[in-house]
Structure 1
Amino acid sequence: MDNIYLFLFYCFRFFIKYMPTGLTKSLLSFFAFIAYSLDKKHRHVARVNLDLAFEDKKSEKEKKQIIKDCYKNILYNLSEFVKNQGATKEEILSKVVFKNTEALENAIKTKRKVIVTTAHYGNWELLSLAIAVKFSAVSIVGRDLDSKVMNTILTKNREQFDVEL
């Protein structure tokens, strides 16, 4: 199975690196729709979670759109993950804007430890890289992927710029 994942990843990487950006975004949205349509298991899990979180405060249509947008977000993040492989510090910093950093900068200056908690929200793979580039070395906690070969690729990307996994 690892060989299949690796093949799909390299095809995806080729697609991301050599397709025009406008076309890439449209195709990623199309692939997200295909994944949404075929992935009954995770679509159901997302639906159950939305029902628990929002009960009847969101309509069926709104919940369905949130789930579709989640599939898009995952593919957009995967494409950015590919683009971040081998990126320079300047390229990483050009993708982010930090606001209200005074508390973090003060903690670093006074050699205090900082714990940042986050979830898979926004471009989470970019966050640790950007913090390490702009402020200081970072240690992150994450679980290994089920695929050893894909885990190696993920770890290599995450460990750029003084990020320890």
Structure 2
Amino acid sequence: MRHRFEYALAWILVRGIGMLPRRLARTLAIALAWLVFALHARLRRVGMRNLELAFPDKSKSERQKILRGTFTSLGRQLAEVCLFPSYTRENVSEVIVYDGFENFDHAQRRGRGVLYLTAHLGGWELSAFAHSLQGHPLRVVTRSLDNPYLEALIKH
């Protein structure tokens, strides 16, 4: 029952945000991320603990600022993922700018495969999606979600 509830909530969120203009979608998604930040004490504690381990020399206020920025970034990413269906080969360049794409083109012309390695930072989901829109399919290694309904939603 919990998995179905999570799926229904995610479906409403994804479809609802995805119907909005990009600016409004981002504003709403960031507001939702801030709401989660405000209401979910456990996430704040875990985030602060991780930042203490990563940045022991930073002050508590600096780590709090980083954590708030992380939630803002997550909100932006939520909006972009929800907007994926509206992006096309023709309009994706309005959202993402490739830097160094000539390196990929060069490797392709040589008939060689290309292996991308990326940290789990920033808009990597959007860059992978944009790359596939340019006609270059990607394979991504992930762990399946615990909720099979959400897993199906993401793969769709």
Deviation, 1:21, is 5.0
The question of whether the paired residues in 2 share the 8 Å contact of 1:47 and 1:63 is answered with yes
Contiguous gaps of at least 5 residues in structure 1: 157-165
Identity %: 26
Change (3 A) 1:84 1:23: closer
Describe the superposition over 1:101-136 as per-residue Cα deviations: whole angstroms up to 9, x where unpaired. 232211111121221111332222212121223362
Structure with more contact order per residue of length (Cα contacts < 8 Å, sep ≥ 6): 2
Match of 2:60 in 1: 60
The question of whether the paired residues in 1 share the 8 Å contact of 2:31 and 2:75 is answered with no
Q: Is it true that 1:27 corresponds to 2:40 in the alignment?
A: no
Change (3 A) 1:33 1:136: closer
Describe the superposition over 1:40-88 as per-residue Cα deviations: whole angstroms up to 9, x where unpaired. 33322221221122112x2211211111121222222112111102532
Contiguous gaps of at least 5 residues in structure 2: none
Partners of 1:21 and 1:102 in 2: how far apart? 28
Q: Is it true that 1:12 corresponds to 2:13 in the alignment?
A: yes
TM-score when scaled to structure 1? 0.80
- Number of residue-to-residue matches in the alignment: 155
Report the AA paired with residue 55 of structure 2: F
Change (3 A) 1:18 1:130: closer
Displacement over 6 Å in runs of 4+: none
